[in-house]
């Protein structure tokens, strides 16, 4: 079961397609996972893709289709007849159909909705109403629903009869008048006696999310509770859908990528992998933050200009500016990134802010004193003795080391509080990471540096 | 199904425990999810935990136990009689038993292994042999194994008979002489006719991992293929175990947290949440990198010292140092973080390095020119006119803007190549993120700045 080198296989498929060897193509495709078939389609990008797509069995075709990027999907739909489109839509799970509709241009969406049967169309429209990134928007409505008075045997029969159209049959939902009253796994049903009644074996302590909960909350629940599926209920605790673990995994990876991108001052784009994002798109995602951060660095420049006389009087001070700025920035981002991740994973909340500040304050003092001591030794032994820079005196070294302690203290406090405050007032804490913190800490550290220098060195 | 405020519930449980209201306690615990019960145990941290633990039904007890942190687990084990410990071990899945053993001190491990039955002990020892973070080390050996000639009916009967001890019954593995030849889901079995033969309905194109594959590869497979479980095979394609999706999710979150921590120059710790890591542990994770980065900033200091005369001749140049350093650092980390994440998600590989460099080069020129233009306008209009800084002349502004273009170009190239090279030579690309790149880019940008300044301004 070695993974095949996808490049060679791709060349083979392309050649076979050009030579119209459809039987051989069908055999190859039959041995492949839909995810890998989708990758082949994305690489092909030709009018022949519709031809190739018709070689796939109906179910595989649908599974392959949902794994493709939107450009390839659109290309394919344009090549489809109305009948083919209808067949595809019928085969898709409702949540995948919704994803498709959200990504297609208006004219394609119209065509898709026209081909969907009335009930599917209604379900799609229901889901489309939920806000972006809410639990409702990522759920599917196709789940197995059981009645509390059924026996295990009846339940299994029902699953065998209706399961083919359900996204998962492994967790079944027990409702009474649409109200969710319990869940039962197919494992429990299979391991029970045939005449056991569902309401006696179901789990009644059901953990669910509300349709309007953020998808990040959904992902956190999966991470915490090891579910395979999570029920989504409305305000009256009526079951409206489920989120399955594969969709939750996508959300987790998306949220982590988004956090990482924001931490590096990039406008997030989690829809496409790196190699499919164009140069201009990459530029557009990066330039706004670079501009904002560059402009805000004006303040640090103004501080240096303000202390130009002090700097002229002791030019040796300028050699330590990069080191102090970097150390402050690094200390601040250590704190901010740690807090941002802890907030994302639901490990801490705003109410913990004082505990967090107290902890970071102690950590920062330990770090500050250690670094200052190491730095003092380095300045006196290396910069002064080895490099022979006689401008460096003990008072100068003291100014640098004192600044370091103060800067690290402030950096860690700014770094841990800003993300928490951002979250509290409804911003994304991840934008309060390294670049932003660095800019603030730069200005503060320079100000502290020159204040301490003028006080100690009397310049 | 509102989530209960865990604080109130915790107080209630504590009071009931103090007042020995065991019946009421049992009722409360019965309504709770094992994950939440585990959180209560972690907060209790008293000798009474063993008492409380005995109130749990055997299966819930095991599920709760595996969710606790290691300190609480150790405390509980110390309170257990040998019989109680044996009961717990019997109830644990093998992979959870292995996790437990890896975290307990030697004397506790001895006690655990003594209580495990011989077969379990053998399986535990097998798994313990695999290297840390390998697929073998996170797998479990308890899966449903079917024979190719069984009928669907026989297969379902077998599952009903043996399923109770299996970590998952939803994906079953078909082997022939221990060799993995196919997989079949219980959904397929249930939806098939009773007399359908397993080998005719099983999926033969099985995707598996090798015991020695890195757990990150395992996580990537789950992310890519939407599996609920993934078979682990040895060099001869013999089935040795499976990894289930809940363990894969843990790996994903761990790997993302680890990357994020390394990107922020923190020695990774993904074992414990933020609020359970002590001050000294936090300090120890952060100080090494701060020290290394501080010492390496010596080079930037040396560059400034080297150009001290030039700086003395045109002190206005110093005001732009922070801005140039920050912009270079931000540009570099945008590139490095993007590449690190793409590497983690398996979107790009080392062989793509020239494509990546070409793309980043174009993006960097676009960014560089935009920022330089904006910066020139800002310097002439704001710094010179509004702030009235007459030291700023057109040549000075040109020096700054030219430096910016060159710095961003170099920063993006350094940022995208270093992580890829790191990965190629076997280092973790994530340590090549912001702080490291920033230090390198700082030195380069200062050097470029002063060279351009001395050339253009003739100082």
Q: Could you tell me which residues are beta bridge partners of residue A239?
A: A233
Helix (H, G, I), strand (E, B), or coil: what is residue A183? strand
Q: Do B383 and A298 touch (CB under 8 A)?
A: yes
Q: Which residue has the tokens 């190239």?
A: B413
- Tens-digit pLDDT profile for residues B68-110: 988 889 989 988 889 889 989 888 888 888 889 888 888 889 9
Would you say residue B1 lies in a domain? no
Would you say residue B279 lies in a domain? no
* Same-domain pairing of B346 and B426: yes
pLDDT at position A406, please?
95
* Same-domain pairing of B325 and B435: yes
pLDDT at position B307, please?
84
Q: Residue A222 is nearest to which of B206, B249, B326, comparing CB atoms?
A: B249
Mean pLDDT of B175-195: 92
Q: Which of B111, B130, B149 is the last residue of a domain?
A: B130
Is residue B51 predicted with pLDDT exceeding 90? no
* Same-domain pairing of B452 and B305: yes
CATH of the domain at B337: 1.10.357.20
CATH of the domain at A222: 3.10.580.10
Residue B373: closest CA among A290, A278, A304, A265? A290
Helix (H, G, I), strand (E, B), or coil: what is residue A389? coil
- Residues of chain A above pLDDT 70, percent: 98
The alpha carbon of residue A107 is apart from the nearest alpha carbon of chain B, in Å, by 30
Residue B211: closest CA among B238, B239, B245, B234? B234
The alpha carbon of residue B304 is apart from the nearest alpha carbon of chain A, in Å, by 5
The alpha carbon of residue B233 is apart from the nearest alpha carbon of chain A, in Å, by 9
* Same-domain pairing of B78 and B159: no
Mean pLDDT of B172-186: 93
pLDDT at position A7, please?
55
Chain A within 8 Å of B279 (Cβ-Cβ)?
yes
* Same-domain pairing of B55 and B122: yes
Would you say residue B288 lies in a domain? no
- Long-range CB contact pairs, A276-284, < 8 A, 24+: A276/A69, A279/B359, A279/B362, A279/B363, A279/B366, A280/B366, A282/B338, A282/B359, A282/B363, A283/B363, A283/B366, A283/B367
The alpha carbon of residue A56 is apart from the nearest alpha carbon of chain B, in Å, by 15
* Same-domain pairing of B305 and B449: yes
pLDDT at position B5, please?
44
Q: Do B293 and A326 touch (CB under 8 A)?
A: yes
For chain A positions 322-351, those within 8 Å of chain B (CB to CB) are 322-323, 325-327, 329-331, 333-334, 336-339, 341-342, 345, 347-348
pLDDT at position B293, please?
84
Mean pLDDT of B278-282: 87
Domain count of the fold of chain B: 3
* Same-domain pairing of B157 and B119: no
Mean pLDDT of B319-339: 89
CATH of the domain at B64: 1.25.60.10
Check if the beta carbon of residue A433 is closer than 8 Å to that of residue A262: yes
* Same-domain pairing of A142 and A126: no
Residue A330: closest CA among B96, B293, B155? B293
Q: Residue A348 is nearest to which of B159, B274, B342, comparing CB atoms?
A: B274
Is residue B406 predicted with pLDDT exceeding 90? yes
Would you say residue A327 lies in a domain? yes
Check if the beta carbon of residue A81 is closer than 8 Å to that of residue A111: no
pLDDT at position B7, please?
55
Low pLDDT (below 70) residues in chain A: 1-7, 434
pLDDT at position A125, please?
87
Q: Which of B108, B130, B152 is the last residue of a domain?
A: B130
* Same-domain pairing of B307 and B442: yes
pLDDT at position A416, please?
93
Rounded CA-CA distance B419/B336 in Å is 7
Given CA atoms B352, B357, B360, B362 in this order, what sign does their dihedral have? negative
Chain B within 8 Å of A314 (Cβ-Cβ)?
no
Chain B within 8 Å of A221 (Cβ-Cβ)?
no
* Same-domain pairing of B154 and B32: no
A275-303 burial code (b ≥16 CB/10 A, e <16): eebeeeebbebbbebbbebbbbbbbbbbb
Would you say residue A270 lies in a domain? no
Would you say residue A66 lies in a domain? yes
- Tens-digit pLDDT profile for residues B130-160: 998 899 999 988 899 999 999 999 999 999 8
Give the residue from chain A lying closest to B310, CA to CA.
Answer: A315
Would you say residue A100 lies in a domain? yes
Check if the beta carbon of residue B190 is closer than 8 Å to that of residue A160: yes
Q: Which of B98, B130, B162 is the last residue of a domain?
A: B130
- Residues of chain B above pLDDT 70, percent: 98
Domain interval for residue B78: 6-130
- Taking the model in full, what pTM does it have? 0.80
- Tens-digit pLDDT profile for residues B6-31: 557 888 888 888 888 888 889 888 88
pLDDT at position A234, please?
92
Q: Do B322 and A366 touch (CB under 8 A)?
A: no
Would you say residue A416 lies in a domain? yes
Rounded CA-CA distance B70/A10 in Å is 48
CA of B109: how far to CAs of B74, B78, B90, B105, B310, in Å? 10, 12, 15, 6, 66
Write out chain B in H/E/C secondary structure.
CCCCCHHHHHHHHHHHHHCCCHHHHHHHHHCCCHHHHHHHHHHHCCCCHHHHHCCCCHHHHHHHHHHCCHHHHHHHHHHCCHHHHHHHHHHCCHHHHHHHHHHCCHHHHHHHHHHCCHHHHHHHHHHHCCCCCEHHHHCECCEEEECCCCEHHHHHHHHHHHHHHCCEEEEEEEEECCEEEEEEEHHHHHHCCCCCEHHHHCECCCCCEECCCEHHHHHHHHHHHCCCEEEEECCCCEEEEEEEHHHHHHHHHHHHHHHHHHHCCCCCCCCCCHHHCCHHHHHHHHHHHHHHHHHHCHHHHHHHHHCHHHHHHCHHHHHHHHHHHHHHHHHHHHHHHHHHHHHHCCCCCHHHHHHHHHHHHHHHHHHHHHHHHHHHHHHHHHHHHHCCCCCCCHHHHHHHHHHHHHHHHHHHHHHHHHHHHHHHCCCCHHHHCHHHHHHHHHHHHHHHHHHHHHHHHCC
* Same-domain pairing of B55 and B187: no
* Same-domain pairing of A79 and A174: no
Indicate the pLDDT class of residue B309, thresholds 50, 70 and 90: confident
């Amino acid at each position: 079961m070695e993974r095949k080198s996808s490049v060679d296989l791709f060349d083979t498929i392309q050649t076979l397609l050009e030579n119209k060897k459809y039987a051989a193509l069908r055999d190859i495709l039959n041995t492949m996972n839909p995810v890998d078939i989708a990758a082949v389609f994305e690489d092909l990008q030709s009018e022949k893709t519709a031809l190739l797509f018709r070689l796939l069995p109906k179910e595989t075709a649908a599974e392959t289709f949902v794994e493709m990027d939107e450009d390839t999907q659109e290309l394919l739909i344009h090549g489809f007849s109305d009948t083919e489109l209808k067949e595809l839509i019928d085969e898709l799970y409702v949540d995948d159909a919704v994803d498709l509709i959200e990504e297609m241009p208006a004219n394609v969406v119209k065509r898709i909705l026209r081909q969907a049967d009335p009930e599917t169309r209604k379900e799609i429209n229901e889901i489309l109403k939920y806000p972006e990134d809410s639990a409702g928007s990522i759920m599917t409505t196709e789940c197995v629903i059981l009645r509390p008075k059924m026996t295990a045997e009846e339940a299994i029969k029902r699953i065998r009869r209706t399961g083919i159209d359900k996204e998962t049959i492994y967790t079944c939902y027990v409702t009474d008048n649409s109200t969710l009253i319990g869940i039962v796994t197919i494992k429990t049903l299979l391991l029970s006696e045939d005449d056991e009644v569902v309401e006696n074996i179901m789990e009644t302590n059901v953990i669910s999310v509300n349709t309007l909960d953020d998808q990040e909350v959904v992902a956190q629940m999966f991470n915490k509770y090891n579910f395979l599926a999570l029920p989504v209920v409305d305000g009256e605790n009526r079951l409206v859908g489920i989120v399955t673990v594969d969709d939750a995994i996508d959300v987790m990876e998306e949220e982590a990528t988004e956090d990482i991108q924001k931490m590096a001052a990039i406008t997030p784009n989690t829809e496409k992998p790196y190699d499919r994002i164009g140069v201009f798109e990459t530029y557009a995602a990066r330039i706004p933050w670079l501009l904002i951060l560059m402009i805000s660095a004006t303040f640090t420049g103004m501080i240096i200009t303000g202390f130009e006389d002090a700097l002229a009087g002791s030019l040796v001070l300028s050699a330590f500016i990069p080191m102090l700025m970097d150390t402050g920035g690094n200390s601040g981002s250590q704190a901010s990134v740690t807090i941002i991740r802890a907030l994302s994973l639901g490990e801490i909340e705003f109410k913990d802010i004082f505990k967090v500040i107290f902890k970071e304050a102690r950590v920062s003092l330990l770090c500050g004193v250690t670094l200052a001591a190491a730095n003092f030794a380095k300045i006196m032994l290396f910069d002064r003795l080895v490099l022979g820079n006689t401008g460096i005196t003990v008072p100068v070294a003291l100014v640098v080391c004192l600044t370091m302690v103060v800067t690290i203290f402030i950096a860690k406090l700014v770094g841990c509080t800003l993300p928490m405050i951002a979250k509290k007032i409804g911003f994304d804490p991840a934008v309060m990471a390294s670049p932003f913190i660095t800019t603030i800490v730069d200005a503060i550290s320079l100000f502290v540096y020159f204040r301490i220098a003028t006080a100690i060195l009397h310049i």
